[in-house]
Amino acid sequence: MRVPVDLVDLIGRKEITRTLKTQDYKDACRRVASERVLINAEFDAARAEKKLSKNSNKTKAASKDMLSSMSREQMIALAVGWIKKQDEEHEDVVAAQSLSDGEWHEVLDTLRTDEGMAAYALKENDYCFCLPEAKNTLKEHRITYDQKTLAFKKLSRIFLEVYAGSAKRAVSRHKGELLAPDTYSHTSGLIASVRF
């Protein structure tokens, strides 16, 4: 994706390329949309950083919080991008191993435990459950944040919901249940129903 002219100096390159980690055309078409949203979020964050750095009268705290300028959809895209990457890594590891029936049951038990812990954290609004993942994702995308803001709380809740949904899907997959090809399509609807 071409970097907007006004951001080339700040980002340090004219084009951003990312692998979609698939050879399937339909899957690539689905993935490219979420990658576009993530890259546009990075552009928005860079613009916010550029704007704040130009205005030296702004406080240091304001310049440390690009997350607050992000839309809900961009936050969802960050969380979904993170969980897709986690799911792909998990599936690659499991596919590379030949597990006995007993080992499959152990994997399923572990997934059920993860699902239960995520559901409990969601019920108790334990935003700390996915805090390291949210922070790492923000760092990976060079998005600054202030943990005391409502935006960070929203992002933490979104990460928690996406993780809980992923844990539930993982249990279903390992039990042999068939899932829709785009298992993330319901995530936006789930998150859209949440009030902050």
Quote the pTM value: 0.61
Higher-pLDDT residue of 101, 61: 101
Q: Over 60: is that where the pLDDT of 186 sits?
A: no
Sketch the domain layout of the chain as residue ranges.
Answer: 59-192
Which residues, in sequence order, are bridge partners of residue 107?
none
Question: 131-140 and 72-96 are packed helices; what angle lies between their axes, rounded to 10 degrees?
Answer: 100
| CB-based contacts of 175-180 (< 8 A; 24+ apart in sequence) | 175/108
114-141, pLDDT tens digit by residue?
A: 889 988 988 888 878 888 899 999 998 8
- Angle made by CA atoms 175, 176, 182, in degrees to the nearest 5: 110
- Rounded Cα distance, 112 and 120, in Å: 12
- Rounded Cα distance, 34 and 13, in Å: 21
Q: Over 50: is that where the pLDDT of 94 sits?
A: yes
pLDDT band at 194 (very low <50, low <70, confident <90, very high): very low
138-180, pLDDT tens digit by residue?
A: 998 889 999 899 999 999 999 999 988 888 888 887 777 655 4
What average pLDDT does this structure show over 182-195? 43
